[in-house]
Amino acid sequence: MADFINVTALNRMARDVLAQCEPLTNLIVCGELSGFTRHYKSGHLYFTLKDENASVKGVMFRSQARLLNFEPQNGMLVLAYGHATIYERDGAFQLYVDYMRPFGAGAVQMAFDALYKKLELEGLFAPERKRPLPVMPRCIGVVTSKTGAAWQDVQNVIGRRWPMVNLLLAPVTVQGVEAEQSILAGIRVLDRDPRPEIILVTRGGGSKEDLWVFNSERIARAAAACRKPVVSAVGHEIDTTILDYVADLRAPTPSAAAELCVPDCTEFLQKISVLQENIQKNIQNRLQICYNKFTMAAVRQGLQSQHRTLDRRAEELARIETSVLVAQKHQVLQAEQALQSAAALAASLNPYEVLARGYAIVQKKGQVQTVEHLKSGDSITLQGAYAEADCLVQAVRNTPKKLGSDAQ
């Protein structure tokens, strides 16, 4: 009886044969995805790659699947990188995929649109999430290839515009299978480093396939989670990636990003000069205003002082005038009283007033005579207050003098 082998040995033999076939160990297979599923526990991806004539089963283990920068979908045309072998338990020929990316404009756009919609619904593109860049950063972290033109452009532009800033490079791979993990690590390292105030993620131009890594969901989420503002500058102005939408600021080129990250020292010095002139003018204007106010205040104070002096003088004059008026009134009153007394005295001494009381003046030959000097037979005139009488003295007799009476 001929020797035989069991099914397990057969499948193992076939697997070993395929493992020794070098073309099957490093494959890039183009096909359309169908029957795509992600195992809810293990996280492995199971799918079928097909074209118009054939199909092949495929599997991608979780460790590789978590590195995908897009969400595979049925009907999407992809390039699958891996090796072909036989699954020993089932004897099924299948493709073990290490890396996968969309292929063709339709597939690329489908993957881009799906991720864009997903992140937009989560609010990662919202304008209110965008943070302003510091005006004068002291240190900028740059995530790019150390041998690429983008790094040289950034250094040249920043060195010319704002040479006092420090640049901290996180050297990464910007294309290929390892690019996503490398860029992720660079972003996270710079975000943990306390020195950079801005994180610039950049690379030069290239094909859509070369730039596809910047459409990675993991890179987008890492940028959104950064504590520092993130600037994206990938490719040229016509190139747009998911990272551009998540970043706090998008620049069309690496050189433009460098210009946006720092001010121009020449313009800054000009602004300082203008501000200095404005400050000096403002100071001079304020000093002039203060001087004018001080002068006006001094004039007002002088006028007020003069007014106060005049008011005091007016009050003194009013008091003097009152005193003079009072004194005048007192003097007039005294004069009137004195005049009245003098008038009364004069009236009492006026001989005519005496005559009016019944007395008479004795005149002899026009001369006033006393009765004692008259002799019998003298012709005399008696003058009263209102009339005169010619008389002849018949006799003169001496009479005793009475107190308070006059001789006749």
**Residue-level length of the chain:** 408
Residue 299 lies in a domain: no
Report yes or no on 334 lying in a domain: no
Both 93 and 144 in one domain: the answer is: no
Residues 63 and 165 in one domain: no
Write the CATH number for 239.
3.40.50.261
Domain enclosing residue 362, as ranges: 354-392
pLDDT at 385: 76
The verdict on 38 and 80 lying in the same domain is yes
Q: Assess if residue 224 is contained within a domain.
A: yes
| 247/358 same-domain check | no
What angle is formed at CA 308 by the lines to CA 307 and CA 314, rounded to 5 degrees? 85
> If DSSP codes are grouped into helix, strand and coil, which group holds residue 68?
coil
- Report the SS3 class of residue 183: helix
- Specify whether the CB–CB gap between 184 and 172 falls below 8 A: no
Residues 64, 165, single domain; the answer is no
Query: Do 133 and 226 form a contact (C-beta atoms < 8 A)?
Result: no
Measure the CA angle with vertex 225, ends 41 and 73; round to 5°.
Answer: 45
Is position 226 within any domain?
yes
Any domain includes 318: no
Contact at 8 Å (CB) between 265 and 162? yes
Residue 397 covered by a domain? no
Residue with tokens 């489908």: 110
Per residue of the chain (408 residues), give pLDDT as tens.
Answer: 457 889 998 889 888 988 888 889 889 999 999 999 999 899 999 999 999 889 999 999 999 998 887 888 888 889 999 999 998 888 899 999 999 888 887 777 888 888 999 999 999 999 999 999 999 999 999 999 999 999 999 999 999 999 999 999 999 999 887 899 999 999 999 999 999 999 999 999 888 878 989 999 999 999 999 999 999 999 888 889 999 999 999 999 999 999 999 999 988 888 888 988 899 999 989 888 988 888 888 788 777 888 888 888 888 888 888 888 888 888 888 878 887 887 777 767 777 777 777 788 888 888 888 888 888 888 889 888 788 888 998 888 887 765 554 444
One domain, residues 97 and 159: no
Same domain, 184 and 63: no
Does residue 348 form part of some domain? Answer: no
Inside any domain, residue 172: yes
- 14-18 CB contacts, 8 Å cutoff, 24+ apart: 14/86, 14/91, 15/85, 15/86, 15/88, 18/84, 18/85, 18/86
Query: What are the DSSP calls for 131-182, one per residue?
Result: -PPPSS-SEEEEEE-TTSHHHHHHHHHHHHH-TTSEEEEEE---SSTTHHHH
Q: What is the pLDDT of residue 123?
A: 96
Token digits of residue 77: 């045309």
Residues 141 and 27 in one domain: no
Judge if 142 and 254 occupy the same domain.
yes
pTM (whole model) above 0.85: no
- Structural domain count of the chain: 3
In a shared domain, residues 228 and 161: yes
Q: Which of 266, 287, 313 is the last residue of a domain?
A: 266
Do 62 and 43 form a contact (C-beta atoms < 8 A)?
Answer: yes
Same domain? 153 vs 259: yes
Residue type at position 267: E
Q: What is the pLDDT of residue 402?
A: 57
Last residue of a domain, which of 266, 282, 315?
A: 266
Residue 257 sits in the same domain as residue 376: no
